[in-house]
């Protein structure tokens, strides 16, 4: 191929790459063609439900949103090209505190604030050029969504999965709202939202019975979670095996009264020298002896003022007072005194413990301080009881029981079993399992959420708590809220909302003014995506059966024990109620990492290291931003933003642009270079294999670098005899197809120009099939073959792939290191493991 154009003219032949012109044009075109609307009832192709955690409409999209969303979009496009009917919906987690706080500040209704933000974010999201099916959009603050929260709540209530009870709960004084246990973070127990230390309050609250499935969450057979998420959930659920032991109260005036404790170490029962109750334990009043009353009351008063974290602190001195009563240790009939101490908390276990000071650090400290006996009952085999300086809690495999009556000498594990069995025999205990997991507290004293659909009957006699009948749903939020300067839930002061009639007796009633935790919305939104406007039920069960569970879920790991656990609860509960067919909501979860500022720190406005995606798009184009975010590092890790990095990616796209549009231009144009490039095809197909393989493990960064390498080769060949050949054309075609999911606009533009140049009928690159690579071309062309002599590695030789056995044998036997051996040895046989190694078996010449 020759050309008579000068290099300078060649370079100017292509107009510059203008993403801001190309991208909106293609976005409009795709939308016009309805390319991203999924026909959910099409069963001609395999289905693929791809879900990315939906966003809170904070108002402004930041680059972190792009980082979580554009790789997922690439996956969605790749799956479509691979023949799947892909469902890739989008929505907004639209209830919650920031809207309410903004409303208090600015006087705008939270709904208005939220919907305005949703609008802005829709525009920003569209600029990514992503393939979301906007027809399936869900906005959770809309009555058409939250009425089904209410409906599900009523089903839970009927099924005993929702209930109301008074309990000590965590209260955030700043947000003036109760929190679920999962929303209290860290050792100093702060509010997950505002970081204020929570306090305990005794309140009547609504709960979901998440503990019903405690054991089931521990099985991850049907759900592929990243290891850290599995570990966090498992620890949070905190299953421990042990025994429940019942102690009879010893004093005559309390005959028949019993106190039960849970212990993971029933083998240490002979070492229990006192019992400790939480100051809040219901029996404290009853068991306190008259002469102890004053001290006990004073202590309880003091304990109430302390935070849970203070009470659990290991630093603090262990305070407590005796009640003057005692219990009988069921295993040996010993009378042991009952104390109260604030290191025992009412919400944990039974609120009572058997104290075994020899084998528990806190009990040990308590016993020393209050002069209570310490009796060692477990020791290493062959060791003898010694004066303990601290609790002996070390666990070795050869521990045996001592000082334990007939059980002395038994291995601790066996002792555990036998003592539990003995307790069972006397009806004073049984083996038991406890969990750290508690039921999910779902009521919130805030206005911007789903109203809980119950009415408190005020008639005499009262019908109690009455569910709102289904035909009266939704219970709508008022259209205006009157926020009070002193705070508090405006629903409580809204008589039109609050005052109602009892649905059961028609008498006066008061509506529940608490709303549901917004994590309720996010526990089932993906099922609603399948039929967002369905009016006669929350979930289209035919579509649910066809599309669920969600095949791939992606998002951050920060909600490991919140959203990712609540969603599992919903799947199990809705399955029990016959509403969904699966017991796990998602098949696989991928956690992406986090994008940091250029300084390597978390992006934040105060640090001034935030990247504004709108600005980046107008400067480099959405394709460059997408590609850079995928290229900057492994998606699971994230990493810092790089201004030079995005420049580099932008340059790469310009090179693709010029090379594809003008194969004969460039530096080499017109130079009579003789290029032998048989390998271009091989390179293109190997790149295709690499990129295809990389989708399996989200290797977006390596895909992009593979495409850059292929492009570099094309750039080198540009203007040479190879440019424009069939091989060249195939390589360009593959390059564009591979680029399509990652940089969808430039690839569709170049694709359509390519079709036009060939006078072929237009069809979008995104409607093309993902190409197959040529297996022969991608096979390794050379193999490294280790050579062993009598099984010992002696040499390595590189040979062309595909040689015959005889050819390989000839090469091997001619190697210097082999011939050296053959001076005094002879070859018995040559063993060839194709592609792996050659072993030459020799023996000394006789
Ligand atoms: Zn708070
Ligand atoms: Zn009533």
Residue 502 Cα, ligand 2 centroid: separation in angstroms?
Answer: 5
Identify the nearest ligand to the CA of 184 by its number. 1
Residue 461 Cα, ligand 2 centroid: separation in angstroms?
Answer: 8
Residue 102 Cα, ligand 1 centroid: separation in angstroms?
Answer: 15
- Using 50, 70 and 90 to split pLDDT, how confident is the model at 395? low
- Tell me the CA distances in angstroms from 391 to 394, 414, 804, one per residue in order: 9, 22, 72
Lowest mean pLDDT among 7-11, 282-286, 387-391: 7-11
Secondary structure class of 274 (helix, strand, coil) = strand
Query: Cα separation of 213 and 205, whole Å?
Result: 21
Lowest mean pLDDT among 50-59, 132-141, 188-197: 188-197
Identify the nearest ligand to the CA of 509 by its number. 2
Residue 408 Cα, ligand 1 centroid: separation in angstroms?
Answer: 53
Which tokens is 553 given?
A: 């879920």
Residue 510 Cα, ligand 2 centroid: separation in angstroms?
Answer: 10
Identify the nearest ligand to the CA of 465 by its number. 2
Identify the nearest ligand to the CA of 199 by its number. 1
Identify the nearest ligand to the CA of 192 by its number. 1
Residue 447 Cα, ligand 2 centroid: separation in angstroms?
Answer: 25
- The answer to whether 549 and 587 have CB atoms below 8 angstroms apart is yes
Q: Which of 39, 37, 47 is nearest to 545 (CA)?
A: 47
- The answer to whether 73 and 88 have CB atoms below 8 angstroms apart is yes
Pairing of strands 240-249, 321-328: antiparallel
Across 271-280, 480-489, 776-785, the highest mean pLDDT is recorded for 271-280
Identify the nearest ligand to the CA of 456 by its number. 2
Identify the nearest ligand to the CA of 464 by its number. 2
Return the pLDDT at 19.
97
Residue 453 Cα, ligand 2 centroid: separation in angstroms?
Answer: 15
pLDDT digits (tens, 9 = 90+) for 781-793: 677 888 999 888 8
Identify the nearest ligand to the CA of 459 by its number. 2
Query: Using a CB cutoff of 8 Å and minimum separation of 24, what contacts does 482-488 make?
Result: 483/100, 483/103, 483/104, 487/176, 488/176, 488/445
Residue 772 in this model has a pLDDT that exceeds 80: yes
Identify the nearest ligand to the CA of 461 by its number. 2
Query: Cα separation of 619 and 27, whole Å?
Result: 18
Residue 100 Cα, ligand 1 centroid: separation in angstroms?
Answer: 13
Backbone torsion region of residue 831, taken as left when φ is above 0, otherwise alpha when ψ lies between -120 and 50, otherwise beta: beta
Residue 349 Cα, ligand 1 centroid: separation in angstroms?
Answer: 27
Identify the nearest ligand to the CA of 460 by its number. 2
Residue 53 Cα, ligand 1 centroid: separation in angstroms?
Answer: 23
Identify the nearest ligand to the CA of 502 by its number. 2
The arithmetic mean of pLDDT across residues 282-299, rounded, is 95
Return the pLDDT at 826.
87
- Using 50, 70 and 90 to split pLDDT, how confident is the model at 5? very low
- The answer to whether 81 and 770 have CB atoms below 8 angstroms apart is yes
Residue 458 Cα, ligand 2 centroid: separation in angstroms?
Answer: 7
Pairing of strands 508-511, 515-516: unpaired
Provide the 10 A C-beta neighbour count for residue 230: 16
Identify the nearest ligand to the CA of 171 by its number. 1
pLDDT digits (tens, 9 = 90+) for 67-90: 999 999 999 999 999 999 999 999
Lowest mean pLDDT among 562-571, 723-732, 763-772, 827-836: 827-836
Identify the nearest ligand to the CA of 455 by its number. 2
- Distance in angstroms between the alpha carbons of the first and the last residue of the chain: 67
Residue 361 Cα, ligand 1 centroid: separation in angstroms?
Answer: 33
Residue 174 Cα, ligand 1 centroid: separation in angstroms?
Answer: 5
- Using 50, 70 and 90 to split pLDDT, how confident is the model at 481? confident
Residue 503 Cα, ligand 2 centroid: separation in angstroms?
Answer: 7
Return the pLDDT at 56.
93
Return the pLDDT at 99.
87
Provide the 10 A C-beta neighbour count for residue 330: 21
- Using 50, 70 and 90 to split pLDDT, how confident is the model at 180? confident
Query: Using a CB cutoff of 8 Å and minimum separation of 24, what contacts does 387-392 make?
Result: 388/358, 388/364, 390/361, 390/364, 391/357, 391/358, 391/359, 391/360, 391/361, 391/363, 391/364, 392/358, 392/359
Lowest mean pLDDT among 392-401, 460-469, 751-760: 392-401
Secondary structure class of 365 (helix, strand, coil) = helix
Q: Which of 449, 242, 444 is nearest to 353 (CA)?
A: 242
Q: Which residue has the higher pLDDT, 811 or 846?
A: 811
Identify the nearest ligand to the CA of 458 by its number. 2
- The answer to whether 423 and 157 have CB atoms below 8 angstroms apart is no
Identify the nearest ligand to the CA of 174 by its number. 1
Residue 153 Cα, ligand 2 centroid: separation in angstroms?
Answer: 20
pLDDT digits (tens, 9 = 90+) for 30-46: 999 999 999 999 999 99
Residues of the chain with pLDDT > 70, as a percent, come to 95
Residue 282 Cα, ligand 1 centroid: separation in angstroms?
Answer: 30
In sequence order, what are the residues at sequence separation of 6 or more whose Cβ sits closer than 8 angstroms to the Cβ of residue 322? 292, 337, 338, 339
Helices (H) and strands (E) in the chain, counts: 27, 34
- The answer to whether 820 and 808 have CB atoms below 8 angstroms apart is no
The arithmetic mean of pLDDT across residues 692-719, rounded, is 94
Residue 56 Cα, ligand 1 centroid: separation in angstroms?
Answer: 17
Residue 500 Cα, ligand 2 centroid: separation in angstroms?
Answer: 11
Residue 455 Cα, ligand 2 centroid: separation in angstroms?
Answer: 9
Residue 485 Cα, ligand 1 centroid: separation in angstroms?
Answer: 17
The arithmetic mean of pLDDT across residues 703-731, rounded, is 93
Residue 465 Cα, ligand 1 centroid: separation in angstroms?
Answer: 29
- Tell me the CA distances in angstroms from 355 to 271, 281, 459, one per residue in order: 8, 16, 49
Return the pLDDT at 677.
63
Backbone torsion region of residue 835, taken as left when φ is above 0, otherwise alpha when ψ lies between -120 and 50, otherwise beta: left
Provide the 10 A C-beta neighbour count for residue 638: 17
Identify the nearest ligand to the CA of 446 by its number. 1
The arithmetic mean of pLDDT across residues 829-844, rounded, is 86
Q: Interhelix angle for 679-696 vs 726-739, to 10°? A: 20
Identify the nearest ligand to the CA of 505 by its number. 2
Residue 806 burial by CB count (10 A; 0-12/13-18/19+): exposed, middle or buried? exposed
Structural Rg of the chain based on CA atoms: 35
Residue 783 Cα, ligand 1 centroid: separation in angstroms?
Answer: 62
Residue 490 Cα, ligand 1 centroid: separation in angstroms?
Answer: 18
Residue 7 in this model has a pLDDT that exceeds 50: no
Residue 449 Cα, ligand 1 centroid: separation in angstroms?
Answer: 16
Residue 501 Cα, ligand 2 centroid: separation in angstroms?
Answer: 8
Residue 762 Cα, ligand 2 centroid: separation in angstroms?
Answer: 68
Residue 183 Cα, ligand 1 centroid: separation in angstroms?
Answer: 9
Residue 442 Cα, ligand 1 centroid: separation in angstroms?
Answer: 15
Residue 173 Cα, ligand 1 centroid: separation in angstroms?
Answer: 7
Identify the nearest ligand to the CA of 173 by its number. 1
């Amino acid at each position: 191929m020759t050309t008579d154009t000068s290099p300078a003219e060649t370079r100017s032949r292509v107009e510059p790459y203008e993403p801001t012109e190309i991208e909106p044009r293609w976005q409009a075109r795709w939308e016009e063609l309805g390319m991203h609307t999924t026909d959910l009832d099409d069963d001609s192709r395999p289905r693929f439900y791809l879900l990315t955690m939906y966003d809170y409409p904070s108002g402004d999209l930041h680059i972190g949103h792009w980082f979580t969303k554009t790789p997922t979009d690439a996956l969605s496009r790749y799956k479509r090209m691979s023949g799947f009917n892909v469902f890739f919906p989008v929505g907004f987690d639209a209830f919650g505190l920031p809207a309410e706080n903004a409303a208090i500040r600015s006087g705008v209704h939270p709904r208005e604030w939220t919907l305005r933000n949703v609008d802005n974010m829709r525009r920003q999201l569209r600029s990514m050029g992503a393939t979301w099916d906007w027809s399936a959009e869900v906005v959770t603050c809309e009555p058409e969504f939250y009425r089904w929260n209410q409906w599900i709540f009523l089903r839970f209530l009927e099924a005993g999965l929702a209930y109301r009870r008074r309990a000590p709960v965590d209260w955030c004084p700043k947000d003036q709202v109760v929190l679920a246990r999962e929303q209290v973070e860290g050792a100093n127990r702060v509010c997950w939202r505002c970081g204020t230390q929570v306090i305990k309050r005794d309140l009547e609250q609504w709960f979901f019975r998440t503990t019903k499935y405690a054991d089931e969450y521990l099985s991850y057979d049907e759900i592929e979670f990243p290891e850290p998420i599995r570990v966090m959930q498992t620890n949070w659920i905190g299953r421990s095996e042990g025994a429940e032991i019942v102690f009879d109260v010893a004093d005559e005036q309390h005959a028949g009264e019993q106190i039960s404790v849970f212990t993971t170490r029933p083998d240490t029962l002979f070492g229990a020298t006192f019992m400790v109750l939480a100051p809040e334990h219901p029996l404290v009043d009853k068991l306190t002896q008259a002469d102890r009353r004053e001290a006990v009351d004073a202590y309880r008063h003091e304990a109430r003022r302390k935070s849970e974290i203070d009470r659990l602190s290991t630093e603090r001195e262990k305070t407590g007072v005796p009640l003057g009563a005692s219990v009988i240790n069921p295993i040996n009939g010993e009378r042991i005194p009952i104390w109260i101490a604030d290191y025992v908390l009412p919400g944990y276990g039974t609120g009572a413990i058997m104290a075994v000071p020899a084998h528990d650090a806190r009990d040990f400290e308590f016993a020393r301080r209050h002069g209570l006996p310490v009796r060692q009952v477990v020791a290493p085999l062959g060791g003898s009881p010694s004066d303990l300086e601290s609790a002996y809690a070390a666990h070795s495999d050869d521990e045996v029981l001592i000082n334990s009556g007939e059980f002395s000498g038994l291995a601790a594990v066996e002792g555990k079993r036998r003592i539990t069995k003995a307790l069972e025999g006397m009806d004073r205990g049984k083996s038991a399992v406890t969990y750290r997991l508690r039921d999910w507290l779902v009521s919130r004293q805030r206005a911007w959420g789903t109203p809980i659909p119950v009415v408190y009957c005020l008639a005499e006699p009262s019908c109690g708590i009455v569910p709102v009948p289904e035909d009266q749903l939704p219970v709508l939020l008022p259209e205006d809220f009157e926020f009070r300067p002193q705070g508090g839930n405006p629903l409580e002061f809204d008589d039109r909302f609050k005052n109602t009639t009892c649905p059961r007796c028609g008498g006066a009633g008061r509506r529940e003014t608490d709303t549901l935790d917004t994590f309720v919305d996010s526990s089932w939104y993906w099922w609603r995506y399948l039929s967002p406007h369905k009016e006669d039920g929350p979930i289209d069960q035919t579509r649910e059966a066809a599309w669920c569970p969600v095949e791939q879920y992606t998002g951050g790991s920060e909600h490991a024990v919140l959203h990712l656990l609540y969603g599992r609860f919903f799947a199990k509960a809705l399955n029990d109620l016959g509403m969904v067919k699966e017991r796990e909501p998602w098949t696989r979860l991928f956690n992406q990492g986090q994008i940091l500022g250029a300084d390597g720190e978390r992006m934040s406005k105060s640090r001034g290291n935030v990247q504004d995606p709108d600005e980046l798009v107008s400067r480099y184009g959405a394709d460059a931003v997408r590609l850079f975010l995928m290229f900057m590092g492994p998606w699971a890790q994230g990493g810092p933003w790089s201004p030079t990095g995005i420049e580099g990616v932008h340059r790469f796209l310009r090179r693709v642009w010029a090379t594809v549009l003008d194969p004969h231009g460039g530096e080499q144009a017109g130079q009579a270079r003789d290029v032998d490039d048989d390998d271009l095809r091989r390179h293109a197909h190997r790149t295709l294999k690499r990129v295809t393989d990389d989708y399996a493990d989200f290797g977006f960064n390596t895909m992009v670098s593979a495409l850059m390498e292929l492009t570099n080769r094309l750039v080198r060949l540009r203007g040479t005899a190879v440019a424009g050949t069939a091989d060249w054309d195939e390589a360009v075609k593959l390059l564009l197809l591979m680029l399509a999911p990652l940089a969808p606009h430039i690839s569709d533009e170049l694709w359509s120009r390519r079709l036009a140049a060939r006078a072929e009928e237009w069809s979008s690159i995104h409607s093309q099939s993902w190409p197959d690579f040529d297996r022969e071309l991608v096979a390794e062309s050379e193999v490294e073959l280790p050579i062993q002599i009598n099984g010992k590695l002696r040499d390595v030789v590189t040979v062309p792939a595909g040689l015959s056995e005889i050819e390989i044998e000839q090469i091997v036997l001619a190697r210097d290191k082999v011939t050296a051996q053959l001076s005094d040895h002879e070859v018995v046989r040559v063993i060839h493991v194709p592609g792996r190694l050659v072993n030459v078996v020799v023996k000394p010449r006789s």
